[in-house]
């Protein structure tokens, strides 16, 4: 039996082997033909290495209007030559190229930047095969316009020449500490503001004014909201004079009162149209302790343009003689669109809320100094191009026109102004200097 089993197994194996065909064997894959390899393969181009910006430093302030920008040299790992493109702008997301294909690592701008403006910049390094590397974006702020440091006026007519000079000085913290005014080379009675003192909020609180025996001290007081409420004039030779300022519910000056020896001898009341911040008119009442002397009323009507420049000033007087107000003077003003440097001096350095008693000045200074102490003093925002004054008196009407031609610097502030009368004759020259001139 065992012999029969062995025969069957042997026969089965033989049949299995005989049943397999050649097609059932695994097939051998023929390799794809290989071309001739490049004996000198070209390496992949790599971009220049990373590099950093040097100057102007990030977050720098008081930067010059023509800064010099610099950066590190970018090293190309392939030894390719590297050039640079500079991008700059006032918006971080929209920087524009200002210099292209530079072979150096610094660049000085030749187009002046805007003062008091923040700028962003970056540098792009590129090789001659188009690979690029970009720096981070940095920012800096251009310095604001220096304060007016000197203002000179020379006026002439057929009889005489008058020279006025206003000289401002500032301390190391850029705080004005002196203003000297000279007339024909001599310091006038109110020709020097000295020893200016400020509180912790930068508000002027005291100074000396005048020269020689006429020198006196002025003290300014403010309320908790920072509004000036009192100005006191102290002089050893005569009684103190105090100007007190009152405000309406909208924090606009409503009334100023001048008092000496307990008697209010001048009161100014302001009127406004709607919510306007500037007065449309004001009335000044001059009183005397002697009740036999009648009060004199002065009234001014003011018109302002959209830039808060005074464009019309009408003056009337009422001598309490039963005839009411009489028109005495009407002045109209025209302006250009350029900046008036006095605006910054008054707004940022005088800091007494636009009021000051007892100082006067011609309108060509760029200030509105009415002829009654204790009244509104306001810097003009733009520069005068024409002033026409119509004066009425018992002898008739006189009309005087003064024209101004200005020369400006790159920042839009005047460096000189020529004054001409109605006939075109040059009657005056004004020159301006700034702190870093």
**Is residue 413 one of the residues assigned to a domain?**
yes
Could you say which of 142, 168, 188 is where a domain stops? 142
The pLDDT mean for the chain works out to 78
Tens of pLDDT, residue by residue over 12-43, are 434 344 444 445 555 555 555 555 666 777 78
Residues 179 and 282 placed together within one structural domain of the fold: yes
CA within 13 Å, CB half, 161: 7
- Both 234 and 110 in a single domain? no
What is residue 213's DSSP assignment? G
Tell whether 234 is covered by a domain: yes
Average pLDDT estimate for 38-57: 88
384 and 426 co-located in one domain: yes
Higher pLDDT, residue 20 or 241: 241
User: Considering only CA atoms, which of 155, 153, 152 is closest in space to residue 427?
Assistant: 155
Domain-located, residue 78: yes
Does some domain include residue 27? Answer: no
The tokens for 428 are: 């005056």
More confident residue, 347 or 86: 86
H helix or E strand, kind and range, residue 341: helix 341-345
Report d(CA 182, CA 193) in Å as an integer.
12
* 195/343 same-domain check: yes
At 366 the pLDDT is 45
Q: Rounded to an integer, what distance in angstroms lies between the CA atom of residue 416 and that of residue 402?
A: 16
Judge whether 43 lies within some domain. no
Residues 251 and 185 in one domain: yes
Q: 226 and 353 in one domain?
A: yes
**Helix and strand counts by DSSP (H, E) for the chain:** 2, 29
User: What dihedral angle (degrees, nearest 10) is formed by the CA atoms of 186, 189, 195, 201?
Assistant: -120
**C-alpha dist (Å) from residue 190 to 81, 166, 208, 376:** 68, 12, 10, 19
CB contact at 8 A, 318 and 325: yes
Determine the Cα–Cα distance for residues 103 and 83; give it in Å rounded to an integer.
5
- Please report whether residue 46 resides in a domain: no
Report the alpha-carbon distance of residue 205 to residue 17 in Å, rounded. 120
Residue range(s) defining the domain that contains residue 320: 148-434
pLDDT value, residue 1: 46
Identify the pLDDT of residue 370.
36
163, 152 contact by CB (below 8 A): yes
CATH code of the domain in which 277 resides: 2.40.160
Tell me the whole-structure pTM to 2 decimals: 0.62
Rounded mean pLDDT, 327-355:
73
Residue that terminates a domain, selected from 111, 142, 173: 142
Place 373 in a pLDDT band, splitting at 50, 70 and 90: very low
Q: What is the distance between the alpha carbons of residues 393 and 290, in angstroms, rounded to a whole number? A: 28
Least confident of 25-34, 132-141, 277-286, 388-397: 25-34
Q: Is residue 41, in this structure, part of any structural domain at all?
A: no
Q: Which residues contact 362 (CB under 8 A, 6 or more apart)?
A: 369
DSSP-assigned states of every residue in 105-155: SEEE-SSPPPTT-EEEEEEEEEETTS-EEE---EEEEEPPPPPEEEEEEEE
275 or 367, greater pLDDT? 275
Does the CA dihedral 365-334-331-347 come out positive or negative?
A: negative
Q: Is residue 187 part of a domain?
A: yes
User: How far is CA 311 from its chain centroid?
Assistant: 23
As for how many domains the chain has, the answer is 2
Residue 40, judged by CB atoms within 10 A of its CB (0-12, 13-18, 19+), counts as exposed
Backbone angles phi, psi at 18, to 5 degrees: -70, -25
Assign 102 a pLDDT band (cuts: 50, 70, 90). Answer: very high
Do residues 117 and 164 both lie within one domain?
no
Q: Is 275 left (phi over 0), alpha (psi -120 to 50) or beta?
A: alpha
- Are 313 and 272 in a shared domain? yes
Cα(135)–Cα(123) distance, integer angstroms = 6
Domain of residue 128, CATH code: 2.60.40.10
Per-residue pLDDT at 10: 44
Question: Can you read off the two tokens belonging to residue 432?
Answer: 């301006």
């Amino acid at each position: 039996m065992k012999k029969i089993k062995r025969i069957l197994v042997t026969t089965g194996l033989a049949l299995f082997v005989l049943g397999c065909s050649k097609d059932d064997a695994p097939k051998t894959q023929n390799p794809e033909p290989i071309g001739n390899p490049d004996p000198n393969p070209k390496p992949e181009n790599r971009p220049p290495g990373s590099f950093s910006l040097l100057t102007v430093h990030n977050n720098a302030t008081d930067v010059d209007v023509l800064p010099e920008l610099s950066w590190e040299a970018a090293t190309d790992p392939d030894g390719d030559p590297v050039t640079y493109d500079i991008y700059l702008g006032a918006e971080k997301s929209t920087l524009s190229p200002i210099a292209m294909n530079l072979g150096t690592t610094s660049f000085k701008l030749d187009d002046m930047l805007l003062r008091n403006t923040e700028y962003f910049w970056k540098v792009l390094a590129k090789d001659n095969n188009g690979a690029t590397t970009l720096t981070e974006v940095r920012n800096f702020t251009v310095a604001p316009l220096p304060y007016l440091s000197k203002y000179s006026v020379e006026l002439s007519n057929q009889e005489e020449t008058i020279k006025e000079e206003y000289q401002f000085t500032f301390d190391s913290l850029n705080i004005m500490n002196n203003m000297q005014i000279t007339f024909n080379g001599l310091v006038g009675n109110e020709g020097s503001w000295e020893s200016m003192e400020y509180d912790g909020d930068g508000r002027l609180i005291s100074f000396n004014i005048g020269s020689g025996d006429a020198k006196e001290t002025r003290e300014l007081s403010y309320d908790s909201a920072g509004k000036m409420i009192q100005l006191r004039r102290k002089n050893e030779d005569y009684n103190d004079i105090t100007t007190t300022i009152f405000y309406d519910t909208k924090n606009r000056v409503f009334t100023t009162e001048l008092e000496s020896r307990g008697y209010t001898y001048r009161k100014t009341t302001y009127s406004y149209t709607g919510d306007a911040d500037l007065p449309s008119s004001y009335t000044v009442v001059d009183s005397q302790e002697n009740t036999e002397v009648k009060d004199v009323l002065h009234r001014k009507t003011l018109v302002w343009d959209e830039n808060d420049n005074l464009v019309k000033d009408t003056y009337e007087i009422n001598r309490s003689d039963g005839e009411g107000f009489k028109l005495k003077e009407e002045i109209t003003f025209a302006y250009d669109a350029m900046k008036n440097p006095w605006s910054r001096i008054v707004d940022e350095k005088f800091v007494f809320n636009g009021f000051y008693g007892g100082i006067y000045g011609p309108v060509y200074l760029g200030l509105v100094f009415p002829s009654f102490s204790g009244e509104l003093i306001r810097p003009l925002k733009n520069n005068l191009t024409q002033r026409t004054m119509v004066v009425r008196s018992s002898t008739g009407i006189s009309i005087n026109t003064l024209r101004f031609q200005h020369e400006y610097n790159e920042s839009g502030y005047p460096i000189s102004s020529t004054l001409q009368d109605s006939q075109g004759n040059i009657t005056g020259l004004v020159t301006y200097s700034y702190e870093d001139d």
